[in-house]
Amino acid sequence: MRQGVLAAARGWLGTPYRHQASLKGVGCDCLGLVRGVWREIHGQEPETPPPYRPDWAERSGEDRLWAAATRAMGPPIDPGAMRPGDLILFRWRLGMPAKHAGILSLAEDPLRAGAARFIHAYEQASVVESPLVPSWRRRMAGVFRFPEGL
């Protein structure tokens, strides 16, 4: 399962950033990337998100991304137990809803400090693989594991 999630996510690398889109090679945002990987692994998505504006989290104050991840994947796991293929949610500021998502692609290697990486749709750019540097780690809101076969 884990290797399937990673292979699917890597297949999206280079896909241009497009708000609300979820088409590999054509365009996606961070949620669209996760939705596309889910479709490749499990088929039909567990739910279709309603239309959302770029400032949806600031406007509503609801932690919709967290709630959707919990419904689809179950409760969050301990960040210390995260492994490649796990979903990471990020919040821009403490007390704000989670607003960004990525998939861990390389776990921390105790012999190589800072080796962890994740795949995400980078606004104004494309789907990229980035180092999970301290500025990203500080913003981690939760880690979720894709479910095994549904």
Query: Cα(105)–Cα(120) distance, rounded to whole angstroms?
Result: 10
Q: In the prediction, which pLDDT does 103 show?
A: 98
Query: Cα(100)–Cα(104) distance, rounded to whole angstroms?
Result: 13
Query: Cα(5)–Cα(36) distance, rounded to whole angstroms?
Result: 10
Domains and CATH numbers, the chain: 2-144 (3.90.1720.10)
Bridge partners (DSSP) listed for residue 77: 143
Which residue in the block uniquely carries the two structure tokens 């990673």?
6
- pTM for this predicted structure: 0.93
- The single-letter code of the amino acid at 84 is P
Secondary structure letter of residue 117 according to DSSP: E
* Residue 79, CA distances (Å) to 34, 68, 108 in order: 19, 18, 11
Q: In the prediction, which pLDDT does 94 show?
A: 87
Q: Is 17 exposed, middle or buried (0-12, 13-18, 19+ CB in 10 A)?
A: buried
Element (H, E) at 128: strand 127-131
Q: In the prediction, which pLDDT does 107 show?
A: 77
For the chain (150 residues), the mean pLDDT of every run of 10, in chain order, is 90 97 97 97 90 79 91 95 96 91 83 79 94 94 88
